[in-house]
């Protein structure tokens, strides 16, 4: 049986230029190793498989299986890292009209910037800083919606940022809470609920609606963030990331 490599380009995340970092390869290697492990297991001939059945499987199922394994590994990684992230409120830049949102140590996610009107920025800062000073708790939760691998480092592409400004029944947004925040959307209105008995659902308002208001009421707010809001973002930097199976030492026999 003659064997030669069939190469499949596996495109499943987007990437763009960023500085190199010693920890950047962790997620990348996890994806690559997951594909290698599962592909090599599938390629092996079973003791219960005849030569004809094995040849037929390799000839007719290889590309389909490679794609399925790639999709499965990617989905697993996405589920693993698309969990809620606690965050701090950073400094406000009056020139750009943006707050810096700082993610907690231990995440590969970089800090984010959100645009907030200078009319409501002091009030927002007051709510959040008071919780830090009085209760030592942060009021911001980042819910990732889409991620990518950027130079072998996990990056956010889209996220829903939840900010608790003394909202009723919204304790699960705070950093010290052990409760999970559940988000639902009904008729274009967003609601949140803590997954514990006795807590009521609360409405979550769009923070961008208050850009022209000088008074920010107590409540819970959301901000739909996109990577295009980051400083110096250049869409032309986005490129597909691909794996060549030859580089992963995976050889699939082709049966003639």
Strands of the chain (E only): list them.
14-15, 85-93, 98-103, 112-115, 140-150, 153-165, 181-186, 189-194, 202-206, 219-226, 239-240
Going by the DSSP 8-state scheme, the letter that residue 97 receives in this structure is: T
Residue-level pLDDT, tens digit, the chain, 256 residues: 434 444 333 333 333 333 333 344 577 788 888 989 999 899 999 999 999 999 999 888 888 888 888 888 878 877 776 777 888 899 999 999 999 998 765 555 667 999 999 999 999 999 998 888 877 777 888 888 887 766 666 677 889 999 988 887 777 777 656 678 888 888 889 998 888 777 788 899 999 888 776 788 988 999 999 988 888 777 766 655 556 666 677 777 665 5
Residues in CB range of 250: below 8 A, 6 or more apart: 5, 35, 36, 39, 40, 43
Contact 77, 148 (CB under 8 A): no
């Amino acid at each position: 049986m003659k064997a030669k490599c069939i190469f499949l380009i596996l495109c499943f995340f987007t990437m763009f230029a960023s500085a190199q970092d010693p920890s950047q390869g962790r997620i990348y290697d996890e994806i690559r190793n997951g594909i290698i492990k599962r592909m090599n297991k599938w390629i092996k001939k079973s003791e219960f498989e005849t030569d004809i059945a094995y040849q037929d499987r390799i000839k007719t199922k290889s590309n389909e299986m490679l794609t399925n394994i790639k999709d499965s590994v990617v989905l697993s990684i996405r589920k693993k890292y698309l969990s809620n992230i606690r965050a701090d409120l950073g400094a406000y830049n009056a020139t750009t009209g943006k707050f810096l949102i700082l993610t907690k140590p231990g995440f590969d996610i970089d800090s984010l910037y959100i645009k907030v009107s200078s009319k409501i920025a002091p009030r927002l800062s007051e709510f959040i800083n008071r919780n830090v000073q009085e209760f030592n708790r942060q009021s911001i939760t980042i819910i990732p919606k889409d991620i990518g691998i950027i130079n072998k480092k996990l990056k956010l592409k889209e996220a829903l940022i939840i900010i608790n400004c003394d909202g009723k029944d919204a304790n699960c947004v705070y950093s010290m809470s052990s409760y999970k925040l559940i988000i639902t959307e009904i008729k274009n209105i967003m609601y949140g609920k803590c997954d514990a008995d006795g807590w009521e659902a609360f409405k979550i308002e769009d923070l961008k609606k208050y850009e022209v208001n000088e008074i920010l009421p107590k409540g819970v707010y959301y901000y739909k963030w996109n990577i295009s809001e980051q400083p110096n973002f250049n869409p032309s930097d986005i490129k597909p990331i691909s794996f060549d199976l030859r580089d992963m030492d995976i050889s699939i026999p082709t049966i003639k």
